[in-house]
Amino acid sequence: MAYGLNDSPAGLAAWLVEKWRSWSHSLDAIDRDLLLTNMTIFWVTETIGTSMRDYYDKRRYGPTIGPEDFVTVPTAVAVFANELVSEGTPPREWAERLYDVRRWTPMPRGGHFAPAEAPDLLARDISEFFAGRLGDR
């Protein structure tokens, strides 16, 4: 797929717009200049393939984390309302099996591209986490 997308700027643009449209809370929430900048970076650097590599590896080789693994670094989780999980919000307990969850923030808007869709919400949550307010919401 990467060869085809690197070969056609129109194909690359169509692919990216479709992903941003279907994985976002609202395509209207995303700045057009940001979208065009991302498209240009992928096109000029021919890196659409590397952006998809992690998805391919996980499907082909499966997860690399085992049931005994645990990340001890204090972790904050921002749960955006329109992420790719059609079943709804993932349970906090799932994250707590692997991470030391200190902050769990359900967000009212945003999706897979949250930094572009709701930068104000994400920046505030990150700032509050690192300001020492590690308590739960």
Q: Mean pLDDT across the chain, nearest whole number?
A: 87
* Cα torsion 104, 110, 111, 116: sign: negative
Are 75 and 126 in the same domain? yes
Model confidence at 133, pLDDT cuts 50, 70, 90, reads: low
pLDDT at site 129: 94
Based on the fold, state whether residues 56 and 76 are members of the same structural domain. no
Task: Please give the Cα distance from 77 to 126 (Å, whole number).
Answer: 9
Segment 10-14 shows an average pLDDT of 95
The DSSP secondary-structure symbol of 24 reads S
How many domains in the chain?
2
Q: Average the pLDDT over 74-97 and give the result.
A: 83
pLDDT digits (tens, 9 = 90+) for 93-116: 989 999 999 999 999 888 888 888
Answer yes or no: do 89 and 107 share one domain.
Answer: yes
56-77 mean pLDDT: 87
Q: Which domain holds residue 33?
A: 2-61
Same-domain check for residues 8 and 56? yes
Q: How confident is the model at residue 54, as a pLDDT?
A: 85
Q: Is residue 135 one of the residues assigned to a domain?
A: no
pLDDT in tens, 26-60: 778 788 999 999 999 999 999 999 998 888 888 88
Residue 137 reports pLDDT greater than 60:
no
Residue 42 located in a structural domain = yes
Largest CA distance in the chain: 49
Same domain, yes or no: 7 and 43? yes
Section 11-39 average pLDDT: 88
Task: Tell me the Ramachandran region of residue 101: left when phi exceeds 0, alpha when psi lies from -120 to 50, beta otherwise.
Answer: beta
